[in-house]
Structures are given as C-alpha cells and as structure tokens.
A and B are shown apart, each in its own frame.
Chain A
Amino acid sequence: QQKVQQSPESLIVPEGGMASLNCTSSDRNVDYFWWYRQHSGKSPKMLMSIFSNGEKEEGRFTVHLNKASLHTSLHIRDSQPSDSALYLCARGTNAYKVIFGKGTHLHVLP
C-alpha cells in the first residue's frame, strides 16, 4: 500500500517553462511534508519543506500545502535543464520516521 502518491511519474517541460508536481498522502496523521531532489547518479538533497497550510516560495520554487486534502505540490518556474532530476515527496507524522513517494522524473528540454 503506497502511502505517498506522486504524479505524474514523468514530466517533460521546455526550458523556461513551468513544471508542476503533485503529491498526496493517504495517511491523515501527517504533519510534515518535504520535497527532495535527486540528480542522476547522486543522492537525494532536501529542496523544500512545508509544515503549515499555505504557500512557501524560495527563488524559482514554490510549494503549496493543503492539510485538509493531504496534498502538496511543487512548482518550478523558468525551468532550467539543470532542474532535470527525480523529485521525491516525503511525509511524516513526526520529523524522524519519513515515508517517501516513488518520485516524479522531470526532464527539462533545452
């Protein structure tokens, strides 16, 4: 039973375009959401975290969280080829035991 559903599995956007990635938890007892980015052949690195309802922006990256629907989304504006990577959504009922989704493969075409 997959507790963190990510969509789409794969996404292709042109350079300069907007990429939108989605993540939903099937567990209502969730307080923490993260987005990690994993470039090919590398280890995951935390990109953004969000723990409260609403929106959080850092540069070209914006994260939304709706706790009522257990849904978070990551939006990347002005996408660059260097943004091509596997994006992993993670959720936790505490900050320590975290469950990851299968990820969305983002491809940004020059």
Chain B
Amino acid sequence: EAAVTQSPRNKVTVTGGNVTLSCRQTNSHNYMYWYRQDTGHGLRLIHYSYGAGNLQIGDVPDGYKATRTTQEDFFLLLELASPSQTSLYFCASSDSRGYTQYFGPGTRLLVL
C-alpha cells in the first residue's frame, strides 16, 4: 500500500504565527493533495500538485500557500495563522491515473 507520511502530527501555534506542514510520499506518485477536515464540512481540497514545481488551486485556498519541492515532498504554509484554520489536515497522493488517493495520518493544528 502507498506510504504517505506527515509531520508534525500535532501543532499548536498562536494567531499570526507561521506554520509549515510537511508531507512526503515514497511511491513515485505524480499527484499530491492537501485537504482540511472539519466537522460539518467534510474533507475540503486546499491545494494540489501534479509534479515538482507545479501548484493547482483547490476549493478553499485562502490563507494557504503550498509548494512542491520534489516529487516526494509537498508543503503547506500558513503565514499568518488564524483560529479559523484550526483543523485536521490531510495530505494525499495518487498516481497518474488518479483512481485512488492514499492519505497520510493527518496533522491536527490548533491556532490559539
């Protein structure tokens, strides 16, 4: 099964702080995704990428930047964190066919 890892697993920051969430996949998948999961909203796509240097806008991109540095690594950046960004963040990857997305274990972020 595809392996996707995320770090950190838990993060607490203050309003206005900088946060970087990391994701690595070791399955040579082209596509990588960042989602947030909130009660009452389900899973929502923030950004995604189909290769190193590429970035595509998702459905809820405001307040988030992302960067795909290599095929394996995808980062989500919150430059001025706000309490509304308190959430559970998942990274996922899929191959070129995209038929199955493989999710990482998630990062729980709390913005005070």
Q: A35 CB to closest chain B CB, in angstroms?
A: 12
Given contacts A43-B90, A102-B42, contact A49 B59 (CB under 8 A): no
Q: Which residues of chain B come closer than 8 Å to A42, judged between CB atoms? A: 105
Whether B41 and A45, one on each chain, are in contact in the complex, defined by CB atoms closer than 8 angstroms, is no
Say which one of B62-70, B74-82, B93-101 lies at the interface with A: B93-101
Given contacts A96-B31, A99-B45, A100-B43, contact A43 B103 (CB under 8 A): yes
Chain B's closest residue to A41 (CB) is B106
Q: Residues 83-109 of chain A: 1 if any B CB is under 8 Å from the residue's CB, otherwise 0?
A: 000001000101111111111000000
State the CA gap A45–B98 with chains docked (Å).
Answer: 14
Q: How many residues of B contact A (CB 8 A)?
A: 25
Q: Residues 44-64 of chain B: 1 if any A CB is under 8 Å from the residue's CB, otherwise 0?
A: 110010100000101100000
Q: B18 CB to closest chain A CB, in angstroms?
A: 25
Whether A97 and B43, one on each chain, are in contact in the complex, defined by CB atoms closer than 8 angstroms, is no
Whether B97 and A95, one on each chain, are in contact in the complex, defined by CB atoms closer than 8 angstroms, is yes
Q: Which of B40, B44, B104 contacts A43 (CB 8 A)?
A: B104
Whether A46 and B106, one on each chain, are in contact in the complex, defined by CB atoms closer than 8 angstroms, is no
Given contacts A96-B31, A96-B50, contact A46 B100 (CB under 8 A): yes
A residues with CB within 8 A of B = 32, 34, 42-46, 49, 88, 92, 94-103
Q: Which 7 A-B pairs have the closest CB atoms?
A: A95-B98, A102-B42, A43-B103, A100-B43, A96-B98, A46-B100, A100-B42
